[in-house]
Chains A and B, each alone.
Chain A
């Protein structure tokens, strides 16, 4: 194996490290950094499926939502309160399992569809799950779950506050690193090659003997579980509440698409760059022009897509081809 293949991973982790140090030691900058990392992680998890298969999982947010429900259910169940901080482990496990089961089911059914049909079928899944929770009144129905109190009971007020204001974001960093590692592994294994062949021409790939169904399902499952982990920490642990109306909002899928597209699909650094730009722009515009930030953001997005149709990293990759920098960008 050529070690150089992993250089882009070091670049990504380097960026995370700089962000972490900046957030930790610059006063009042932790939350903005956490927002950026949230966008980065959401983008990376989304990219694992979109970037490698070309399929748009428009109902992506359903997995983030289920993930936050998984965590909330564990934290709020009184039988687990004795576990102390360890309660987060079954929380994440449960989040991953719930998302995993749904992803396996959706994968088996919807992945037979192509293009826009798939994208919209996943919207159906998201809306269906949301209305089922509300209509059948499970998990608190439309009232959702608030975990602030149970978290305090399980961890004590001091640690509970540290979890919501620091450790939840720290875990987002960890998930972002995990997603980056998975992306690089995908990029350099048979699985990844197969998926990229599939993205270029699914029928041809199948003729060439790529087990497209299996590969698609694996990428879908991995992406969904990563999304669930992000939801479990960035939503459930950080905001301490899970309302169905809020965690199944499709606007978050659109956020993910914006991040991945701005950065560059199917690249490792794409979602990192996209998340950075998106997070910083939102933060900055929200402070400078309260109430008008989206009015500026929208044309900005259009300009970026017209100038960088393959995303910033995608275009950069082309420019550095054959140069020294090449091995750092993927």
Chain B
């Protein structure tokens, strides 16, 4: 009984964690889907979002849900900037060039953040009460993070499926040359999707602080980069919704397996949960090489 209580509590927390993971990965998948660029600097953009949430809250008392909008705007601006300054020149270059360029962008952002804000570890407290579910207690901030993640995912889905721009973008993803022939400005959509991808990523940084409102510092992104990569592949890499589901799986495995692994004597179950999460990726790729929602 005790075990079941713990287990169900872990699963609930896993779902919330998964939602945040999913949200932070959607931007990565979008960029990969359209530009075939693996954004190695992904975590640095998350860091920017986290700092936006932090500064807006501590300086102006702006609640994170509002600074998310600001983060989206800043992110889109950053996206356009880096697209036209860097990425645009590398579209015809070998695949790896873009990987390196995004890596360098990531370092650059982290170092600028360090130069401007210092290497301190910061945090803020947004007290909005908590929700008691019996098996576990969840701060409301996390509930908001969960709800906003779902709203954003649905909004993005609708934008893709229902609007003209979204349709055109889908065309670019599926058949670049075909889209060009149809008179779609492919390069314009590259820029747009890079900007939206970065915008989403920076915004997800704000929601990450709802989940982990502490430890905000210039180098915080690395962990998220690695996790986002894996989640993106779980979900099929080119599909933002796949990424969203991948996030849930990853979160559930990370948290849900703890109680079970804890039954093994003489090990560190928490480290093993992380091991298991990556092992599941490998097994899944073995069974379905294109990821969960990936298409052949």
Task: Provide the main secondary structure of the chain B interface.
Answer: helix
Which residues of B are found within 8 Å of A261, using beta-carbon distances? Answer: 96-97, 100
Is B57 at the interface (CB under 8 A from chain A)? Answer: no
Residues 57-101 (chain B) with a chain A CB within 8 angstroms = 86, 89-90, 92-97, 99-101
The CA-CA distance from A305 to B95 in the complex, in Å, is 11
Is A294 at the interface (CB under 8 A from chain B)? Answer: yes
Of A119, A137, A310, which one neighbours B268 at CB under 8 angstroms?
A137
Is B271 at the interface (CB under 8 A from chain A)? Answer: yes
Number of A-B contacts (CB under 8 A): 140
| Interface contact A135-B268, CB-CB below 8 Å | yes
The CA-CA distance from A257 to B94 in the complex, in Å, is 13
Total residues of chain B contacting the partner, CB 8 A: 51
Known A134-B268, A135-B267; contact A302-B233, beta-carbon cutoff 8 A: no
Task: Provide the main secondary structure of the chain A interface.
Answer: helix
Of B90, B267, B279, which one neighbours A305 at CB under 8 angstroms?
B90
| Interface contact B282-A124, CB-CB below 8 Å | yes
Total residues of chain A contacting the partner, CB 8 A: 44
The CA-CA distance from A56 to B96 in the complex, in Å, is 8
| Interface contact A134-B111, CB-CB below 8 Å | no
| Interface contact A135-B226, CB-CB below 8 Å | no
The CA-CA distance from A50 to B97 in the complex, in Å, is 13
Q: Which of A125-133, A162-170, A203-211, A234-242 contacts B (4 or more CB under 8 A)?
A: A125-133
Is B11 at the interface (CB under 8 A from chain A)? Answer: no
Is A151 at the interface (CB under 8 A from chain B)? Answer: no
Residues 21-64 (chain B) with a chain A CB within 8 angstroms = 32, 38, 40
Which has the most chain B C-beta neighbours within 10 Å: A117, A250, A297, A299? A117
Is B153 at the interface (CB under 8 A from chain A)? Answer: no
Of B229, B269, B282, which one neighbours A125 at CB under 8 angstroms?
B282
Residues 207-265 (chain B) with a chain A CB within 8 angstroms = 222, 226, 229-230, 232-233, 237, 261
Is B158 at the interface (CB under 8 A from chain A)? Answer: no
| Interface contact B278-A124, CB-CB below 8 Å | yes
Of A121, A131, A299, which one neighbours B282 at CB under 8 angstroms?
A121
CB-based nearest A residue for B275? A131
Is A112 at the interface (CB under 8 A from chain B)? Answer: yes
The chain B residues found within 8 Å of chain A, CB to CB, are: 32, 38, 40, 86, 89-90, 92-97, 99-101, 103-105, 107-108, 110-112, 115, 222, 226, 229-230, 232-233, 237, 261, 266-275, 278-279, 281-282, 285-286, 289-291
The chain A residues found within 8 Å of chain B, CB to CB, are: 50, 56, 109-110, 112-117, 119-121, 123-125, 127-128, 131-132, 134-137, 141-142, 250, 254, 257-258, 261, 265, 292, 294-295, 297-299, 301-302, 305-306, 309-310
| Interchain residue pairs with CB less than 8 A apart (23) | A110-B285, A116-B237, A117-B291, A119-B38, A121-B281, A124-B285, A127-B226, A127-B278, A128-B279, A131-B278, A132-B275, A135-B261, A135-B268, A136-B272, A250-B222, A258-B103, A297-B104, A298-B105, A298-B108, A301-B100, A305-B104, A309-B90, A309-B92
Excluding A119-B38, A134-B268, A306-B89, 19 further A-B contacts by CB distance (< 8 Å) are A112-B289, A117-B291, A120-B233, A121-B285, A125-B282, A128-B278, A131-B275, A135-B261, A137-B266, A257-B100, A265-B94, A294-B110, A298-B104, A298-B105, A301-B101, A301-B103, A301-B104, A305-B100, A305-B104
